[in-house]
Amino acid sequence: LAKTTQPISMDSYEGQEVNITCSHNNIATNDYITWYQQFPSQGPRFIIQGYKTKVTNEVASLFIPADRKSSTLSLPRVSLSDTAVYYCLVGYNNAGNMLTFGGGTRLMVKP
């Protein structure tokens, strides 16, 4: 499975847009990119998944350049409740996907 690299932590303020970038230089042709959010003492929550270009849902947007060696999770107008750890993962799901989590990015949203 492709290894991912993301910042250990980020700070932001309420109302700002937050962009978290993940590097995955060894991504394979069949790999998808998936982001999860985790609050303390809870299980990870699926946020968004994409293969190429841009994906948007009610929570976030995911930007993937043409070479797919990185991706950026964009959270519009964050609030205090967006304070969490965000994990970027890549893998080929239908092959029997054991998700490999890295350390994630700890986002702190300040008032």
Partner 1 sequence: DTGVSQNPRHKITKRGQNVTFRCDPISEHNRLYWYRQTLGQGPEFLTYFQNEAQLEKSRLLSDRFSAERPKGSFSTLEIQRTEQGDSAMYLCASSLLETGSTDTQYFGPGTRLTVL
Residues that bind partner 1 (CB under 8 A): 32, 34, 36, 41-46, 49, 87, 93-94, 96-104
Nearer to partner 1, 44 or 82 (CB): 44
Residue 96 C-beta: closest distance to partner 1, Å: 6
Residue 101 C-beta: closest distance to partner 1, Å: 3
Residue with tokens 């700890």: 106
Rg (CA), the chain: 13
Amino acid, single-letter form, for residue 78: V
Residue 14 C-beta: closest distance to partner 1, Å: 26
Residue 15 C-beta: closest distance to partner 1, Å: 28
Listed in sequence order, the residues at least 6 apart from 106 whose beta carbon sits closer than 8 Å to its beta carbon are 8, 9, 10, 84, 85
Nearer to partner 1, 66 or 98 (CB): 98
In which order are the strands placed within the sheet that holds 32-38?
Answer: 9-13, 105-110, 84-91, 32-38, 45-50
Nearer to partner 1, 29 or 94 (CB): 94
